[in-house]
Copies of this chain bind each other. A is one copy, B any other.
Amino acid sequence: MSDDVRTAILKASLELIDENGLRAFSMREAARRAHVSHQAPYHYFPDRESILAELVRNGFEQLHTYMSAGSTPADTAAERLERMGEAYIRFAIEHRALFRLMFRDEMVDIGHHPEAKAAADRSFHLLVEAVVGPSPSGEIADPAPILAVWSIAHGLASLELEGKLQHLFGERTPQEWKQIFSEVVRTVIPARG
């Protein structure tokens, strides 16, 4: 039964940040929405950051799903990269608050939360394989091409989420943005050796 409370707290926490941004999350408000006392969350999580870390872990698992859905092995490497970049950006836009949380290390220091870190590593490994081909060993000889595709996707997603693009390029429909994103990704990705 008690897992009900745990999942209710997580659900309430995610709703809070989805509805009103990262600053809207508080343990006491999450507890209120889960209809438990302000101390009940401490029975399942050692502290505030651990609640968020669980959301981050789930987030990276969802991101993994997005990215792997976009990469069927039959295609060329360039096409896979393009679809993976689009999937990364689509995830960011469809889960705005969660994406921000996943990359804000002053809110969740991933080094303190091994399960979240493991999930993040799995997503990252998907990207590495798409760039350099299947490589079971974790070693990365040349980071530059991997960084190039990751940076472009992450940079675009970040600038969009922080409102810099609407702000500077004017309002556009989501459809138009998708078009522009594709163009940018396609412009840049074939450039790596």
Copies of this chain present in the complex amount to: 2
Which residue on chain B has the smallest CB distance to residue A153? Answer: B155
Residues B106 and A21 in contact, CB atoms below 8 Å apart: yes
A192 within 8 A of B: yes
How far does the alpha carbon of A184 sit from the alpha carbon of B189 in the complex, in Å?
A: 12
Identify which of B23, B143, B155, B191 contacts A151 (C-beta below 8 A).
B155
A154 CB to nearest B CB, Å? 4
Assess whether A150 is in contact with B159, with CB atoms less than 8 Å apart: yes
Q: Mark A148-176, 1 if CB is under 8 A from B, else 0.
A: 10111111101100111101110000000
Quick one: given A140-B169, A155-B152, A158-B155, are A184 and B103 in contact (CB under 8 Å)? Answer: no
Contact between chains at B164 and A103 (CB < 8 Å) = yes
A190 interface contact, C-beta 8 A:
yes
* Contact status B154-A169, CB under 8 Å: no
A156 with B151, Cβ < 8 A, contacts A144-B184, A145-B187 known: yes
Instruction: Report Cα–Cα, A169/B159, bound state, in Å.
Output: 24
Q: A111-B163, A148-B152 are in contact. List 5 more A-B contacts (CB 8 A).
A: A103-B162, A110-B163, A121-B168, A140-B169, A147-B184
User: 9 shortest A-B CB distances, which residue pairs?
Assistant: A155-B155, A191-B191, A151-B155, A154-B155, A151-B156, A144-B183, A21-B106, A105-B162, A105-B163
